[in-house]
Amino acid sequence: MVDKRQRFLDAFDIIRAELLAHFAGENMPKDAQEWYKRNLDYNAPGGKLNRGISVTDSAEILKGSPLTDQEYFRAAVLGWCVELLQAFFLVSDDMMDQSVTRRGQPCWYRVPNVGNIAINDAFMLEGAIYHLLKKYFRQEKYYVDLLDVFHETTYQTEMGQLVDLITAPEDVVDLSKFSLDKHRFIVLYKTAYYSFYLPVALAMHFSHITSPSAYDLAKTILLPLGEYFQIQDDYLDCFGSPEQIGKIGTDIVDNKCSWLINVALQHASPAQRKTLDENYGKKDKDAEARVKVVFEEVGLREKYAAYEESSYERVMGLIQTIPEGGLKGGDGEGALKREVFKSFLDKIYKRTK
């Protein structure tokens, strides 16, 4: 069997061909067809693909035996829809965060001749989701559930992004406005719903799980998992190497309410607090470096390692609340199994990129 990532990528070739055939069928000019192809290739497939592959993995776990080729492809379409949503968010987020690189290459808006066209390109990555859902799932009873969960998680992500952005004004730095509670709200909304709940909920619909309590249970595990994931993202923004994470951190300079600054504020001496107040959120490399010195002094690396352990234990504990044989999912055959969540946790535990 080809490796998992390659199998998932192979499905993208078919999906991209479908999107481009539709473009051609609409008589889109040749240069627009080429532009769209470049947009798709540049922004959809270059990441870790954890979210997308979690859909096919979860569908297989829920089935309890290998998916047929046709089942695999259909689950992969849902997985690629999550990756397209992610691409739509990242292209936009990089403009809002004024980031420089993403996945080891310049952010799309910084590519010559792209600029603000990236805004429309982001919209088109989102539009592709609904084209694909219609093409492949229109006839399913759960089609409306797919539309609903994409719309709802998109809206939640935008709500989280709003709070992320207005908590980080460019001109006024006021660290007293930050708190771990505020951080928690931001990360649940901007990351956890679409990155963790969405892929599993899609696999559950695909597997004909209908019981609302199964979806609620999934959420009680996946939201804490998503919170943990975004705290990793915050940590790597400062302590990860750009070569490994494929992006250059901007959180300190962008005045972000990240996990690191919140924990640093809890432990800073009056002198360290003064340094943070004077240097956080400044568009200045030396100021950023002074903030990083305080982050080291208060022991954020160790505090993060302890957080990571406790977070793993917490999520494992939540997973154990699922009955050993799985939770019956409703009229359909499928039961919600522990392995769905373990497999997702294993993908991110102690990640360095």
* Active site members: 48, 88, 93, 97, 102, 164, 190, 229, 233-234
Residues that bind Mg ion in the complex, under the rule CB under 5 A: 93, 97, 233, 237
Q: Which stretch binds ligand GPP (CB under 6 A): 36-44, 67-75, 129-137, 155-163?
A: 155-163
Q: Among residues 57, 60, 83, 97, which is the contact residue for ligand GPP, using CB under 6 A?
A: 97
Q: Does 92 bind ligand GPP (CB under 6 A)?
A: yes
Q: How far is the CB of 123 from Mg ion (least distance, A)?
A: 18
Q: Does 262 bind ligand GPP (CB under 6 A)?
A: no
Q: How far is the CB of 98 from ligand GPP (least distance, A)?
A: 10
Q: Does 158 bind ligand GPP (CB under 6 A)?
A: yes
Residue 19 or 107 with smaller CB distance to ligand GPP: 107
Long-range contacts of 293-302 (CB under 8 A, 24+ apart): 294/264, 294/268, 295/238, 295/260, 295/264, 297/272, 298/263, 298/264, 298/267, 298/268, 298/272, 299/267, 300/235, 300/238, 300/239, 300/260, 300/263, 300/264, 301/239
Q: Does 109 bind ligand GPP (CB under 6 A)?
A: no
Binding partner of residue 341 among ligand GPP, Mg ion, none, CB cut-off 5 to 8 Å per kind: none
Residue 19 or 260 with smaller CB distance to Mg ion: 260
Q: Does 99 bind ligand GPP (CB under 6 A)?
A: yes
Q: Which stretch binds ligand GPP (CB under 6 A): 30-38, 41-49, 89-97, 260-268?
A: 89-97
Q: Does 233 bind ligand GPP (CB under 6 A)?
A: yes
Q: Among residues 57, 60, 83, 93, which is the contact residue for ligand GPP, using CB under 6 A?
A: 93
Q: Does 161 bind ligand GPP (CB under 6 A)?
A: yes
Q: How far is the CB of 51 from Mg ion (least distance, A)?
A: 15
Cβ-based burial of 269 (10 A; exposed 0-12, middle 13-18, buried ≥19) = exposed
Neighbouring-strand partners of residue 16: none
Residue 59 or 186 with smaller CB distance to Mg ion: 186
Cβ-based burial of 27 (10 A; exposed 0-12, middle 13-18, buried ≥19) = exposed
Q: Does 89 bind ligand GPP (CB under 6 A)?
A: yes
Phi/psi of residue 105, nearest 5 degrees: -140, 165
Q: Does 153 bind ligand GPP (CB under 6 A)?
A: no
Binding partner of residue 255 among Mg ion, ligand GPP, none, CB cut-off 5 to 8 Å per kind: none
Q: Does 227 bind ligand GPP (CB under 6 A)?
A: no
Binding partner of residue 157 among Mg ion, ligand GPP, none, CB cut-off 5 to 8 Å per kind: ligand GPP
Q: How far is the CB of 348 from ligand GPP (least distance, A)?
A: 14
Q: How far is the CB of 94 from ligand GPP (least distance, A)?
A: 6
| Structure token digits, residue 156 | 């939640």
Q: How far is the CB of 316 from ligand GPP (least distance, A)?
A: 25
- What CA–CA distance (Å, rounded) separates 300 from 239? 10
Instruction: Kindly list the residues in this chain that would bind ligand GPP in the complex (CB under 6 A).
Output: 89-90, 92-93, 97, 99, 157-158, 161, 190-191, 233, 237
